Amino acid sequence: MSKPLASGHKAVPFEGEELAKQLRDFPGYRLGIVRLTPGDWMFPIDYVKFADKIYNFKYRPSDVMVMTYPKCGTTWMQELVWTMRNNPDLNHPMAVLPVMARSPFQEMDMLVGDLAEVTSDNNPFYEGFRLLCPGKDPADGLMLQLSEAIPDPRTIKSHLPFSLHNPALLDTVKVIYVARNPKDVIISYHHHSRLINMHGFQGEFKDFVKYFVDDDLVYSPYWLHVKEAWEKRHHPNLHFVFFEDLKADVIGELKKLNAFLDTKLTDAQLSDIAKYASFTEMKKREAAAGGNEAEMEFFNSEVVKKDGGFFRKGESGDWKGKFTPELEAMVDKWTAEKMTSFGITFKYAV
């Protein structure tokens, strides 16, 4: 790993006590973890395997990239964008497939420790791969190859920050960046990290909060992720959205998206799409198309039964009452130091 990645970053594997602590709390990263310099980005070691392919991905001007730190409402935005561009009258035959089979998660392959977990018949992502990538080997990147193979116009999801994508990205494609208040991100990412075996979080909530403010979670640092997008927010190809604004006024946000994407949809179409992509409707559809989460190998069935599946709550301010005063003060301090300093503020943050 001495050679720099195409992005110019150097990947340094975790070792010793630092590695042991992460593997104890996140057994899903059993193959290893790397930290990138500069930026201190943290990833499962397989990021290195796919990093240059992602950096050199062949984009087309009609592509739209939905970019976020995990748990900021990516899936909701993917469904809105895919539907606005591919299914404005809600009659597209592929719409029955789960969101990620139509709008792939570009770098997901780095999280897949065991391919068998995602290539079972019971896996909704694999469905899209089988349909669109016949004869291809999922080991070469199931989601990466699916991202290449889906028909135009493509809507691709990435949780990677701008600095790990090709600098030409924003001059080539439209990017929608979604940010969410840090406390709801922590609650949602904590649930997700327990739910999905590829993370497999075993620690306590207070440990997770500490990992977050120490920038020691996969895809962290959150503040730098948001900062890189915030600084580009006036670029004509970037549309910056807050999860809280989508929740408060989905129609208002859809009108802005309609202008940004140049989709020319009517108010009636936007209203139908807002309902179709509501939390309740998406949860129903994924349950029907994606199968039973409690039975899927990559979900922790105990967590699904006790605390819910992927579509957990979909609210703003759900963090209230879930942090001790000490933990809340820790996050407030981190937010003031790391985020308020570059000029961003979040609704529902206090």
Distance CA(103)–CA(79), nearest Å, equals 8
Q: Restricting to residues 296-315, which ones interact with ligand A3P according to CB under 6 A?
A: 311-314
The CA-based angle 119-196-174, given to 5 degrees, is: 80
Stretch that binds ligand A3P, among 28-36, 68-76, 120-128, 221-229 (CB under 6 A): 68-76
74 contacts ligand A3P (rule: CB under 6 A): yes
279 contacts ligand A3P (rule: CB under 6 A): yes
CB of 70 to ligand A3P, least distance (A): 6
Please name the residue that has the structure tokens 């404005």: 88
Closest to ligand A3P by CB, 117 or 318:
318
In the Cβ-directed half-sphere of 226, how many Cα atoms lie within 13 Å? 25
Closest to ligand A3P by CB, 68 or 269:
68
For residue 13, list its beta bridge partners: 34
Stretch that binds ligand A3P, among 132-140, 160-168, 273-281, 334-342 (CB under 6 A): 273-281
Distance CA(115)–CA(288), nearest Å, equals 24
Selected binder of ligand A3P within 35, 191, 227, 285 (CB under 6 A): 191
76 contacts ligand A3P (rule: CB under 6 A): yes
Q: Which two tokens stand for residue 74?
A: 């990516």
Distance CA(67)–CA(60), nearest Å, equals 16
Stretch that binds ligand A3P, among 74-82, 140-148, 197-205, 252-260 (CB under 6 A): 74-82
CB of 159 to ligand A3P, least distance (A): 8
Q: Could you please report the per-residue DSSP string of 114-154?
A: -HHHHSSTT-HHHHHHHHH-TT--GGGTHHHHHHHHSPSSP
Closest to ligand A3P by CB, 23 or 335:
335
CB of 327 to ligand A3P, least distance (A): 17
Phi, psi of 212 (to 5 degrees): -65, -50
- Pick from 75, 71, 12, 17: which is nearest to 45 by CA? 12
CB of 74 to ligand A3P, least distance (A): 3
Closest to ligand A3P by CB, 169 or 277:
277
Q: Name the 3-class secondary structure at 283.
A: helix
Residues of this chain that bind ligand A3P (CB under 6 A): 68, 70-76, 184, 188, 191, 277-279, 282, 311-314, 318
